[in-house]
Amino acid sequence: MPAPDDHTAAAGPSPRLAFLGPAGTFTEQAARSLAPKLAPKLATGQQASGDQKPSVALEPCSTVTVALDLVRSGEVAGAVVPIENSVEGSVPVTLDELATGDPLVIAAEATVPIQFSLIARPGTTLEAITLVGTHPHAAAQTRKWVASNLPQARVVHTNSTAAAGAGIADGTATWDAAITSPLAADHYQLQTLAQGIEDNASAETRFVLVTRPGAPASPTGADKTSLVAFIRTDHPGLLLELLEEFALRGVNLSRIESRPTGAGLGRYCFSIDCEGHIAEARVGEALMGLHRTCDDVRFLGSYPRADGVRTEVEKGTGDGDFREAESWLASLRNGD
């Protein structure tokens, strides 16, 4: 009997998908929405098994690291983890796990709206609340509701929305109520006084489906490419040059973040999302430019954008333009 291939080890009767647990969170919701993206990936190289699409077994993990290590070891076919939150920022452990260790790639993304609840110790009434704890961005996104419904209350900022709930639970908080995610009430055994109190729907969390490296899915015209660039030295203009590698080929960036490399203060790598797909010429040439000029570039996948917005291709930067330029150059070199 042959040894299981690395890429299909997790397949078999029912492929497994890890996610950051516990069960019942928004991550599970994201994992369910991303699971179908895993199946076609698994199907490649297999016989199509009749008309049934394979069901995916979800497996909660205690940490992002545990989930991604299951992918690395081949025990699961993929993992769904949060990468960015428009309220509290990027998820450093996800960025760092993708930037270091055995290579992984992003195969798909999904966004989930962030909802806010007002939670407090059981028995608390809205009228009794004079201080509300929450993260500053959450405060900004519930300002109208608080002004209308808690006119007597003042808001104090906490490190995170979870910290606001935890402080009430462990008795260290000076605030009477916390604005948190809907799940925090259960977690801290507090009472939900109001839910859906966000002023608008702009807040959201972005989740990614992470797999072992393989050929990216075909371009859709609405794709995103993720990578990490380790800049050569501390020479001042290098970030500028890195950005120009994209700008000159008409490739827009949708996210750029510095992360410490662990080699000391002032030593960063840049975690980048750009518009377009590695199969497209302008993205490919920009990546080659980075590869030539950076210490290291780690490709983290090309995948469809969750928002489905198609990339606007600037004049002169389409695949046809690149092909035409290559023919032109070849004919000049040959003296045709």
The separation between CA 296 and the C-alpha centre of its own chain, rounded to angstroms, equals 22
Site string for its own copies, 217-246 (x = CB under 8 A): -------------------xx-xxx-xxx-
**How does DSSP classify residue 286?**
H
Asked if 175 and 169 count as a contact pair (C-beta separation under 8 A), the reply is no
Residues in the chain: 336
The tokens describing 218, both together, are: 């075909």
Distance of alpha carbon 137 from alpha carbon 200, whole angstroms: 13
Gap between the terminal Cα atoms of the chain: 57
260 lies in the site for its own copies, by CB under 8 A: yes
Query: Of 245, 250, 251, 254, which Cα lies nearest the Cα of 297?
Result: 245
The tokens describing 248, both together, are: 């000159």
* Cβ neighbours of residue 176 closer than 8 Å, sequence gap 6 or more: 120, 124, 128, 129, 130, 131, 132, 153, 168
Is the CB of 69 or the CB of 150 nearer to its own copies?
69
* Residues in 113-142 at the binding interface with its own copies, rule: CB under 8 A: 135-137, 140-141
Closest separation in Å from C-beta 96 to its own copies: 6
Pairing of strands 57-61, 78-85: unpaired
* Residues in 160-179 at the binding interface with its own copies, rule: CB under 8 A: 160, 163, 172
C-alpha angle with apex 277: 257 to 46, nearest 5 degrees?
A: 115
* Residues in 27-56 at the binding interface with its own copies, rule: CB under 8 A: none
Is the CB of 128 or the CB of 247 nearer to its own copies?
247
Question: Contact region for its own copies (CB under 8 A) — 9-17, 47-55, 184-192, 213-221?
Answer: 213-221
- Identify the residue among 57, 191, 291, 319 touching its own copies (CB under 8 A): 291
Closest separation in Å from C-beta 130 to its own copies: 16
Closest separation in Å from C-beta 227 to its own copies: 10
Closest separation in Å from C-beta 40 to its own copies: 14
Closest separation in Å from C-beta 215 to its own copies: 3
Closest separation in Å from C-beta 1 to its own copies: 25
- Identify the residue among 54, 216, 276, 304 touching its own copies (CB under 8 A): 216
Distance of alpha carbon 95 from alpha carbon 106, whole angstroms: 11
Closest separation in Å from C-beta 51 to its own copies: 27
Distance of alpha carbon 197 from alpha carbon 161, whole angstroms: 14
Is the CB of 128 or the CB of 288 nearer to its own copies?
288
* Site size toward its own copies, by CB under 8 A: 91
- Identify the residue among 131, 156, 183, 194 touching its own copies (CB under 8 A): 156
* Residues in 78-97 at the binding interface with its own copies, rule: CB under 8 A: 84-90, 92-93, 96-97
